[in-house]
Chain A
């Protein structure tokens, strides 16, 4: 077979030129494919002369996005070649194509080892660079010894590269760090800046990784301080000068190493105090380079144990940064202030107005930081002004911020609201400006807040009504508004608002809007639920439109939305069979005691005004005689002087999974026959009110109000303690918090707590924190019980405990008789 002599492959630059003439992607692809084919044949020919040229071209095409894996082995051949040109391209190719994920990566090891010992420093340099950029752990292990040797050479060109190579080795194989320790001995004595810089990097890496190394290298602090001082004081050095500053890169790395060494160490911190002050006050701030050094200095000052004067100096530098025209400088200032706002709060407060100005910045990253910082700075003194700015920000900011901003405003308003009216207005403002960005979990919180602001009910419902009249697309807003209208619709139509001009609105108009919400395609399923329930509630608050309400409710009894359908069916049932219960079931929500997140000193005074305890509750239901049907709990209690938790009635309704009414009416026997046989009582966790959307929150009040706690039960390692709180607004209510703990060595799982009280009491059990009590007293289950005791009788309780322990099912009954008098008198 006659072998044709191949023409010389085209030169690299010529190929580049040719490819750039391609007018379309397709044309380019064609050229590339043609050239790749040529290169492949050339590789097959094992041509040494042009291998370098071909690999270079391949690397170019690789950068354009084309596959180049078939060149991997060729790179290895180039590396093994004696020609420097070959090695240069070979190593470049290796760094681009032969990372540690490639099978042939390790084949480089021997070549690199040889080249590390080459007589030409530039060849050694290539090998060090390749190893130090992308050597795998295995390769690093194999060659660490060579690197360590080179770290001790007097050739500064090689020494600096060896130092960074060592850094890479340590990052890949941390256990090898120790072996480099001896070589670090005189690293800082070097005059060569390259070596100094890389040495500082190496020392930093070692100190960050090992507390022992850190302790060992602390003695270098004086030397580092001296080097830094020389850099600052030295005259102009053209080689290292950047805008009048000598070697800013080295200065910054030294500052960083000082930070690590000075952290948590008084002596080291003191030793660097002066130089830090010097750098902080003398560095030129007109250019970025000076500010880069100042920035690093500030970070160091804030992180070590510096004197307060130095810290204030640092914060003031950041404050000045905030005023800089350069947005990059403003950006870093905000980032740093965000980090220090907790620890140096007062110092940062001084720059509050500048920070607030940054809310108007055009850069998104700056705006975000300014927003976070602003929230961190809100307190009781500045809340009005700050909220004004933040509400304005909420109005105008990008959508990506709105959710966080809304949440932040709610939180700050809750903590620092100067008045109830202001609080409601702020909530309204957020709901109307960013109503669709408000987080879902904000809705129940807001409802609770509104419930508790009793004298603002008329105002709130009026404002909410007006807000959704024009636009009912913002779901959280509509949900809150629907709930309020359902709850306070009577105040709305009777025009009771005092805070502003009461509007004239009829019952029909109110129902119109709620029905529009129901019908609208924009309304989420949850929102529809709110609207329907609101309509239902109005049946006890409105007088003229009950028939209309009945009609609406009956229509939705056949809605395809299962949630809606279920509700409608239950409400229908209320109209038909349980009409006598309707008023009680739908009565006004009582004030809920809110969980406070701060310590005991900050409980009730979240609002500036004292709360007049005006509860518009209707008198407790009297028409609810317990039937002679035994509630499941009766079985628990076994006696007839004990009242069931909730009155029951038989029904032929199909059972469904939860739906408040079913729970309200107790456990229903599916077959409809009277419940007489004992049956295991499930946890009754739903409160006996229609709590649409309200999550049952644990009602912890940090002030125990001096009522002593009791241990209600203690047996077999299970201990249950009761702590008591009395309601400020309703003296018949006692809130008991139970804490169950387990001192045995195995967890108690599936724990269920049940309770029953005498006839004259009423009980409400909220959801427990969990169903597992961990062993060794390492955690507890908490649960809240509310007891209504209008006749102020002595409190007694029977409890039933069931749980699994050590593989068996446990059960126990007990009576609690040791309630302290303060808990019920």
Chain B
């Protein structure tokens, strides 16, 4: 059969603060817990050490890290070597836009206090390492409809006041 060319799949997505605190971790490959921790530590270190003048891409093992900072949060996507890095930047940007649309002027605190929502939104946008929906409207609508299905309003307010 054809040798499989690696195209398209995201391996993992990490969100972390400028102090290196993890805010979200989505893994699309199976790895031991210890390994995930090690990788996360390593990557956070690498990216926090990058200066402004460098590109958004880092060669790491057999993958490429595509990262971008939005305010105090770093968004990092690990893609395969053959993949389109420029498009991955657009994927990252789209995710931020979705968060923004859902939370309204999203900031790091929103992600901290509503981390499960950040995951839910991500799961409406990407599945198995591939983009599943390209319409901003649809993804957010699915979120809002799902929220309406929740039985109690106590824990899961859309826009928590703090």
Q: A residues within 8 Å of B by Cβ? A: 11-13, 16-17, 20, 52-53, 56, 59-60, 63-65, 83-85, 88-89, 92, 99-101, 120, 122, 125, 128-129, 132-134, 157, 160-161, 164-165, 167-168, 171, 193-194, 197-198, 201, 204, 208-211, 214, 239-240, 242, 247-250, 252-253, 256, 260, 288-289, 291-292, 295-296, 299, 327-332, 362-366
Contacts and interface: CB of A to CB of B under 8 A. Distances in A.
A194 B133 contact: yes
Chain B CB within 10 A, most for which of A64, A211, A239: A239
A157 B132 CA distance: 10
A85 B53 CA distance: 45
A101 B32 contact: yes
Given A160-B133, A210-B1, A252-B87, 5 more contacts: A134-B30, A164-B132, A201-B130, A249-B94, A363-B55
B138 interface: yes
A292 B87 contact: yes
A164 B133 CA distance: 11
A85 B128 contact: no
A291 B86 contact: yes
Nearest to B150: A85
Contacts of B116: 56, 59, 88-89, 92
B20 to A, nearest CB: 11
B128 A168 contact: yes
Contacts of A260: 5
A250 B134 CA distance: 8
A212 to B, nearest CB: 9
B87 A331 contact: no
A462 B148 CA distance: 85
B60 to A, nearest CB: 11
Contact of A164 (B89, B94, B127, B156): B127
B90 interface: yes
Given A240-B135, A249-B134, A211 B149 contact: no
B71 interface: no
Residue of B5, B37, B131, B145 with most chain A CB atoms under a 10 A cut-off: B131
17 contacts: A13-B113, A13-B162, A16-B112, A53-B155, A59-B116, A84-B146, A85-B149, A85-B152, A129-B123, A165-B127, A193-B135, A295-B84, A328-B56, A328-B85, A331-B57, A363-B55, A365-B55
A327 B55 contact: yes
Contacts of B70: none
Given A129-B123, A288-B89, A198 B132 contact: yes
Contact of B130 (A101, A198, A365): A198
A167 B134 contact: no
Contacts of A332: 85-86
Dominant secondary structure of chain A at its interface with chain B: helix
Interface string B136-162: 111000100110011110111000101
B135 A204 contact: no
Contacts of B28: 133-134
A331 B127 contact: no
Contacts of B119: 92
A415 B109 CA distance: 60
A133 B128 contact: yes
Contacts of B56: 328
Given A197-B132, A204-B8, A209 B87 contact: no
Contacts of B54: 327, 362-365
Contacts, number: 185
B113 to A, nearest CB: 6
A13 B134 contact: no
A129 B32 CA distance: 21
A134 B28 CA distance: 7
Contacts of B137: 239
B7 interface: yes
A249 B91 CA distance: 8
Contacts of A198: 130, 132
B72 interface: no
A11 B134 CA distance: 35
B90 A214 contact: no
Contacts of B8: 201, 204, 253, 256
Closest 4 CB pairs of A and B: A292-B86, A362-B53, A168-B128, A194-B133
Contact of A329 (B25, B86, B123, B146): B86
Contact of A214 (B2, B55, B130): B2
B22 interface: yes
Contacts of B84: 252, 256, 292, 295-296, 299
Given A101-B30, A122-B145, A288 B86 contact: yes
B89 to A, nearest CB: 6
B4 interface: yes
A240 B134 contact: yes
A47 B25 CA distance: 29
Contacts of B149: 84-85, 120, 122
The listed residue with most A CB atoms (<10 A of its CB), out of B56, B132, B154, is B132
Contact of A161 (B7, B112, B113, B132): B132
Contacts of B91: 249
Interface in B12-59: 22-25, 27-28, 30, 32, 37, 53-59
A296 B134 contact: no
B155 A56 contact: yes
B142 A249 contact: no
Given A328-B57, A328-B85, A256 B7 contact: yes
B42 to A, nearest CB: 15
Nearest to A207: B2
